[in-house]
Chains A and B, each alone.
Chain A
Amino acid sequence: MAFEIGNPGLATTVQDQGRTGHYNVGIPQSGSMDQYSAELGNALVGNTAREAVLECTYLGPVVTADSNVVIAVTGAPVEVKVNGEPRPQWSRLLLKAGDELSFGVIQGGTRYYIAVQGGIDVPEVLGSRSTYSLGGIGGFKGRKLEAGDVVPVGAPLLGGKLPQADTVPEEFRPGYAKEQEVRIVLGLYDHRLTDEGLGNLLNEEWKVTPVADRMGLRYSGPGVKWKEREQPFGAGSDPSNIVDAGYAVGSIQIPGGTQPIILHRDAVSGGGYAMVGTVISADMDLVARAAPGTATRFVAVSLADALEARGDLAERRNKAWAALGASR
């Protein structure tokens, strides 16, 4: 079983839950940017949360199935078409051999996911099928898909058993608003900001710029001020510089005090820019859904709040699986 790729779309990659354990040598976690949407796609087609999916960015691919296969498209709102006919999103679909899956224009958000029964079956590299393009590992030959690629699909799991429900109820689908509140835990090097700088970060509005990809999202806004100091040995000359350190995934750096950058799943693992806080794990999918222009407010929460939000998200996820009659 396989998908034949016609037009590959803008940046279509194979992703799963990601690759941990090798961040210490600079290999990022990768994985679906919007984990929640990707795994509900898996739920619809009778997979576990671990199977690999295709992540589509703005412009989706044209895909032909070489045999009958069960799929679902989840994530950012987009017109889904089979042989040119519209089909519902967040629902289980059957592609017959030779059917062509294609997409209209994205209507919000950034990424949508094609999940397929059995999962995308590329070889695991360091425990994951996720694509890390910069390092050229994982996914389909370590790169985004190109026209003519034939992407293998695995055999159905659970003896081909599908969940009772074939559609994710509305209440369990994420929103794609043009405004977001992103919760962060302040820390790392926030003490290096002036009071005014910290105030700007937390009280002003920031807009996602077009410089946003799997590595990170850059925001424009009023800027911040860093405290002047005599720089420590090895730290570089700008007050936003530190001696090169590891970067937390989700951390916010503000090089030169101008544009905050939130590091996401393919980010560099370290560098010489001070981080001032970190997006809580429960809001990383939310950030991944932010299209350029999204007006954003950063809300400081405590570590305890972050852990509570993490628990809430896990509960919501479990309820969504249960609503489908699927087992994670």
Chain B
Amino acid sequence: MTSEAAVLPGARYTWGGDEFLFVEVSEAMSLPANFKVMSIAGRLSQARLGGIVDICPANASLLVRFDPDVLPPEELERAVRDIERDILEHHEHVLETRIVEVPVWYEDPFTAEVAQRFREGFHQEPEGSDLDYAAKVNNLKDRAEFIQRHHEQPWLVSMVGFVAGLPFLFQLVDRDKQLEVPKYLSPRTDTPKLTVGHGGCFGCIYSVRGAGGYQMFGVAAAPIFDPAQALPDFEDFMVFFRPGDIVKFKPVTEAEYNRIQTEISAGTFRYRQAPVTFDLSKALADPEGNNRQLMEALNGI
């Protein structure tokens, strides 16, 4: 079988000043590109090279911060190129990860209120809602159909960043089924915490309140960034998501949302999650069949 990663051309290596190496795996977003990024990042991390400060896998590129006083740039580049070559030869296709169910209150009042403040001059269609617009540009019947499409298939966390703990999400479906929605014409100065957003082909969950340009569809019911580390899911680290996590959105009603808030206040809320093996070849050959298998892991926990 041909390695899907092998059809990608070699990565482009370029410097971000004297402390950053930038490795562009692909100009375009794709699952194989993201998979290759994660493979390189994982292997580089395992190599434990002295002088590496940060390894930041992104959607289709990798950013490495290094201390040039300890690790000369050419040595770092050689190490990453060796890893890239090795990955091509060994056809690494499998990721041990987890699937997480994320409850979302779609069409919630928090994002609706903020959206109302940023219409004229900010939004493509100031009269309608962000969901109406998203449905229209994706040629869907109405916002209910868009919401259905949004949560029925899972998403891959293809990058974490922008602000602390914010996951970028890439839906695990064929390219012709990808939901694509332009960002706001001009960024908002406000976005509610935990807004479920979408820009281009990427979904996201805003971990903190602040500026943002993605369309707003709803609000996630539970924290994904918890500096106080009060909830059990944050015992080890204040950031919940890691690149490679798989996210299944679950629509909840206002009553369910409120029940979750009570659990959060009591410190008892836990995400439903299960370990899964993600196989790139299967995901590319039969996305929905593969997704069914992944989602089965959430049953009975």
Contacts and interface: CB of A to CB of B under 8 A. Distances in A.
Contact of A281 (B17, B59, B60): B17
A249 interface: yes
Nearest to B241: A25
B16 A281 contact: no
A237 B182 contact: yes
A21 B54 contact: yes
Interface stretch (A109-117, A145-153, A183-191, A319-327): A183-191
A135 B206 CA distance: 12
A245 B27 CA distance: 10
B55 interface: yes
Given A25-B161, A185-B15, A268-B162, A243 B60 contact: yes
Main secondary structure of the interface of B (DSSP, over half): loop
A103 interface: no
Interface stretch (A9-17, A289-297, A303-311): A303-311
B161 A269 contact: yes
B29 A310 contact: no
Contacts of A134: 163-164, 208, 210
A270 B239 CA distance: 16
Contacts of B182: 236-237
A248 B19 CA distance: 8
A235 B165 contact: no
A243 B54 contact: no
Contacts of A280: 17-18
Contacts of B208: 134-136
A235 B163 contact: no
A307 B18 contact: yes
Contacts of A20: 53-54, 65
B62 interface: yes
B14 interface: yes
A174 interface: no
A269 B29 CA distance: 18
Nearest to B162: A268
Given A20-B53, A185-B17, A234 B59 contact: yes
Interface in A254-301: 268-272, 275, 277-281
Interface string A26-51: 11000000000000000000000000
Contacts of A199: none
B201 A246 contact: no
A234 B156 CA distance: 15
Contacts of B29: 232-235, 243
B15 A245 contact: no
Contacts of A244: 58-59, 159, 162, 168, 200, 202
Interface string B55-97: 1111111110100110001000000000000000000000000
Contacts of A54: none
A251 interface: yes
Interface string B148-185: 00000000000111111110100000010000001100
Interface residues of B, number: 55
A21 B65 CA distance: 9
Given A20-B54, A26-B163, A234-B59, A249 B14 contact: no
A77 interface: no
A188 B165 contact: no
A80 interface: no
Nearest to B240: A25
Interface string A220-256: 0000000000001111110000111111111100000
Contacts of A275: 16
Contacts of B61: 243, 245-246
Contacts of B15: 185, 187-188, 278, 303
A106 interface: no
Contacts of B105: none
B22 interface: yes
B18 A303 contact: yes
B28 interface: yes
Contacts of B50: none
B58 A245 contact: yes
Contacts of B238: 137
A84 to B, nearest CB: 39
A132 interface: yes
A186 B192 CA distance: 37
A154 interface: no
19 contacts: A22-B239, A23-B54, A23-B65, A26-B161, A26-B162, A27-B165, A125-B227, A136-B208, A185-B18, A187-B15, A233-B29, A244-B200, A246-B62, A246-B159, A248-B63, A270-B63, A278-B15, A279-B17, A281-B18
